[in-house]
Chain A
């Protein structure tokens, strides 16, 4: 709690410092950034909806993050929580009551004021959703963090985390929870929990929706053509399949955007996006294929922007299969995987060897975890110590028809791993399956061999979204019961004191890497590509892009 409060109080120093630092960077990196202009940015697809509460995909968030803001946010390019619409906050009531002190003088894009009533309206809106809005396709993130609703209508929904919100005066919102939660606060950075104008939400039917053929459909016009937040850009128009246009919010409370217009164009293939950049049809694009990075880097007038790593690729070890229930065998696997050479050869400079399951940019990461450098001799001796005859047969699965941000080339990764394991006393029996949907289903069901390759991209800046997702309870994927690990991760997830949480996750990471339920092998830094004249395009670790400071400058 203390830690969190201090971070809130530092707002006066952090925000101006960040703004100045960015301006300095802008001024030195290739000349000054000119005000004005239109930036065309290519994504991979259209957004789903423009109401962030109803979406869970990166294409939608890329847009909603420009229009809407939450009570707290992330420092540009990092996972550090900084004030946004709340300037400070405190936790009381035995870890169940959060008080947010709100920024004064902020207005929504429709001119209505942002205040404590608006905050409570947004929280109550989510909490009181009924009918179609309780469909997991409509409220994925609400259900992930808050569990259930005021009146749960479907079986399987848990008791809600949220209890109530009260506005104390204009600028103080008090939110009460039903239980202690470590994830409530950091998850507020997810765009789904951004503040939207109550007037616009009501006027344009944001809470009108239905299930058609089993699928949630928003029937009001809010989510398609009237998103109204407080962010640096305002919505202008959306032609599905072609473009979504945002314009500068000239009344923005913070540093006003440089760009006059921001156009997001959907281009479905990586080659299509690359060629659109090369031909000048777009100024920048997201999700560059790792194999295109050298081409972009060597092209004059183009540049690569690396998104800080916020993912992990790992090799699952299924302990339900003998002899992998023996720690020595799992250690042999870890020593037998040549992770450094895989990252060097197949990530084209966009990856780092992972030593634990959370990326270094996230709190809870520690350098004190046991390390397992490639060592075939050690692997063999561990296998012999476990009483096994070499070579030990291992069924190793990898996915086909896929490239994930954390695992751009699964087949080659697998081949290299198989070769290094073969050197280390194992005999690899290869298995493959198409990623969608056979492979993922088999991994989740625990039927994808003794070892398999998979990974994860974080949704928000909290370790619970990494290690908590993998190891907090029993999972057929890993096939182990370890109450010490389950307990520490549950405690850490429910601990609202930030400093204590950091320590708990550091301890948990050490325990996990000693126990070795899987071997993490890479944190990838996904690439964006842009024309050299595009300045201050900041990629956030959690998948978003900051356009607030972006503009055009010299080559």
Chain B
């Protein structure tokens, strides 16, 4: 197992090199450049030439890439052209926000999707099953952005039940030692802040978790349907085991394997979905940061941010692969 993990980690090197090349040349192929975006109407020829020279954008692309690679390998992801902030410190601030949101979305998706899928399979062909199927189809079909806007309009603007923007009420004075606000509030035993942070997570988490919810529901349903007709389940029932024991020990445990794969993949996808959700809810995470960087042609932010997310994506997949072995001891990695 250890050898497998080391090999997967070593594979990260060519993957990240490939990602860095792709991201670098993709950002450079975007029409125009950061100087025009930065200066707008003030972008006269003299200023553009001066900025390009100062930022080194007038050098040949391979030279620019080599300089970028050298500084990145030195652990320096660079500095934003627009707000001049170091990308690593920005990631330190924003990544916990996105992780918190992605986890909340996944808890919502799994927490609701597993029982929905399980009971739909148990009542296969019934009204509950049909409703769940239609609901999950809608969940996959409705764009996250649209759902986020609708949820916000109804529950924040019209009903006023939940907050409309941000991660925490800005008038609240709270300490954030880890930048994971839920964790921070628990550490500080500040329960009113904890509730405020959770309230701020509810709507974005539901919007972001809608697609994984639908996927988890459908996969759980299919996996349970598959497993409950297996011989060993029949044998367990024939042995006279109570139904809930059969479901728990034999059906659910074996159905979890495909579900865990999907959960892993969806966790990665949540990071991309966060771009839209965070924008709608003005949630200060990686997504809204990258969105602004695209509009501003902020090359260093795009390159550093996407490279960082690529590492996270690969690591999440590695964790998922390793978790297979824990869930299913029959799987052996060599």
Specify which chain B residues have a CB less than 8 angstroms from the CB of A261 in the assembled complex: 171
CB contacts under 8 Å to B, within A211-258, are 211-218, 239-243
> Does B81 touch A at the CB level, under 8 Å?
yes
Are the CB atoms of B84 and A213 closer together than 8 Å?
A: no
> Does A280 touch B at the CB level, under 8 Å?
yes
Specify which chain A residues have a CB less than 8 angstroms from the CB of B83 in the assembled complex: 45-46, 48
Contact of A265 among B46, B48, B153, B170 (CB under 8 A): B170
Q: How far is the CB of B148 from chain A (nearest CB, A)?
A: 11
Are the CB atoms of B84 and A216 closer together than 8 Å?
A: yes
Q: Mark A436-458, 1 if CB is under 8 A from B, else 0.
A: 11101100110000000011110
* Tally of contacts, chain A with chain B, CB under 8 A: 162
Are the CB atoms of B71 and A213 closer together than 8 Å?
A: yes
Q: How far is the CB of A462 from chain B (nearest CB, A)?
A: 16
Q: Count the A residues whose beta carbon is within 8 Å of the partner chain — how many?
A: 54
Q: How far is the CB of A332 from chain B (nearest CB, A)?
A: 27
Q: How far is the CB of B295 from chain A (nearest CB, A)?
A: 7
Specify which chain A residues have a CB less than 8 angstroms from the CB of B54 in the assembled complex: 135-137, 154, 211, 214
Q: Which residue of A lies closest to B149 (CB)?
A: A271
Specify which chain A residues have a CB less than 8 angstroms from the CB of B81 in the assembled complex: 137, 214-215
Q: How far is the CB of B287 from chain A (nearest CB, A)?
A: 11
Cα distance, A454 to B157, chains bound together (Å):
36
Q: Mostly helix, strand, loop or mixed at chain A's interface?
A: mixed
Are the CB atoms of A240 and B31 closer together than 8 Å?
A: no
Cα distance, A137 to B85, chains bound together (Å):
13
Are the CB atoms of A437 and B79 closer together than 8 Å?
A: no
Q: Count the B residues whose beta carbon is within 8 Å of the partner chain — how many?
A: 67
> Does A3 touch B at the CB level, under 8 Å?
no
Specify which chain B residues have a CB less than 8 angstroms from the CB of A280 in the assembled complex: 160
Given known A40-B171, A217-B84, A242-B166, contact A276–B282 (CB-CB < 8 A) = yes
Contact of A263 among B35, B153, B165, B171 (CB under 8 A): B171
> Does B131 touch A at the CB level, under 8 Å?
no
Specify which chain B residues have a CB less than 8 angstroms from the CB of A276 in the assembled complex: 164-165, 282
Are the CB atoms of A437 and B37 closer together than 8 Å?
A: yes
CB contacts under 8 Å to A, within B1-60, are 31-33, 35-41, 43-51, 54-57
Are the CB atoms of B153 and A40 closer together than 8 Å?
A: no
Specify which chain A residues have a CB less than 8 angstroms from the CB of B33 in the assembled complex: 437
> Does A111 touch B at the CB level, under 8 Å?
no
Cα distance, A455 to B94, chains bound together (Å):
35
Are the CB atoms of A279 and B32 closer together than 8 Å?
A: no
Specify which chain B residues have a CB less than 8 angstroms from the CB of A214 in the assembled complex: 54-57, 81
Are the CB atoms of B32 and A240 closer together than 8 Å?
A: no
The 16 sampled A-B contact pairs (Cβ below 8 Å) are: A45-B292, A137-B84, A154-B50, A211-B54, A212-B76, A213-B68, A213-B71, A215-B84, A216-B84, A263-B171, A265-B165, A272-B280, A436-B32, A436-B37, A441-B48, A444-B45
